[in-house]
Structures are given as C-alpha cells and as structure tokens.
Amino acid sequence: MRTLVLNAGFEPLAVVSFKRALVLVMNQKATIIAADAEHPVWGSSGSYDRPSVILLTRYVRIPSTRLIPVSRRGVLRRDGQRCAYCAGSANTIDHVLPRSRGGQDSWENLVACCLHCNNAKGNRTPSEMGWNLRVRPKPPHGTAWLVRGVERAEQQWEEFLAPAA
C-alpha cells in the first residue's frame, strides 16, 4: 500500500510506502491525516493505523523552477485520455505540427489522439485537414503533476489532489 505525503501547506509532495510513512510518523516528522483502519500494522508494542495520507510537520521548500518532463503518459493524462480532434478515446499521441516539418516534442505541440485520427492526419497539420483542436495544448500545472505515483491515486487521496480553486 502506498501513502501520499503532503507538505505542511497541504500540497502533495510525494508518494511513499506505508512503511516509510510510519517511520516519519513515529519520528514525529509527520501526522496521519487519513488511514486504512481495516488493515492495521501490527508491531511488538501494539497495532498502528496504516497511513494512506500523512502531513509533514515542517514545510519543505520545493524549487519553483522544476519542470514537468514531457511523456506519452503525461500527454494522455493531461488530455483526459480523449482525442484532441474527435473527443473519442485516445491511446496514441500526435504532433500538431509534424516532426518532419520541424515540430518539437513539447507540451505545446503534443496532444492525445485516437488511432483513427492519427492515421488519417498523417504528415499534415490540423488546418490542412480542416480540423480544429478541441483544446489548446499547454504544459500541465500544479503540484500534483510534480509528484510521481499520483496518476494511480487511491480514493482517500482525491480531496488532497484536487486543484485549488
């Protein structure tokens, strides 16, 4: 089981094993915010709730210049697994400006795409096809994007991963 670690300001910081989370709690470096009471951890001095979300007691400064690396999985996640052209289920990614024409592997040039649209578009631009993008591709933002492992979030994490309004 994995545990979501929140910074003292309640922003997601990391995903760690429940064992690592228990060590942080026992050393008073974190407190348990949400736990799995159905599956306690047994030790020589008794049982402990298995933490699913912990909060650090001290704030950890995160460099604001941390860039989110471009990846196929990230583009699909950013676009909600939906094709940027037809809104169907997407399982590939497409370069809006094809690589053969100088298109880069960047957040601004990659979109989620279904196999049918990707094959039909080929080496052309959306305007040459008479297509419109449903959304303007841009880099994702928010601390949840900087934390590895939250793409497979546990149900108890949802309220802590929601973007701030």
Q: What is the pLDDT at residue 151?
A: 62
Distance of alpha carbon 25 from alpha carbon 19, whole angstroms: 10
Q: What is the pLDDT at residue 28?
A: 95
SS3 state at 143 = helix
| Phi/psi of residue 16, nearest 5 degrees | -130, 170
Q: What is the pLDDT at residue 165?
A: 39
Of 160, 152, 158, 164, nearest to 55 by C-alpha is 160
Q: Please give the domain boundaries of the chain with CATH numbers for all domains.
A: 2-64+143-160 (no CATH), 72-129 (1.10.30.50)
- Evaluate if pTM is beyond 0.75: no
Per-residue tens of pLDDT for the chain, all 165 residues: 889 999 998 888 888 998 999 999 999 999 999 988 788 888 788 887 889 999 999 998 876 666 788 999 889 989 999 999 999 999 999 999 999 999 999 999 999 999 999 999 999 999 999 999 998 999 987 666 667 666 666 777 878 776 543
Q: What is the pLDDT at residue 66?
A: 64
> The tokens of 21 are what?
């989370």
- Residue 18 CB-density burial (10 A; 0-12 exposed, 13-18 middle, 19+ buried): buried
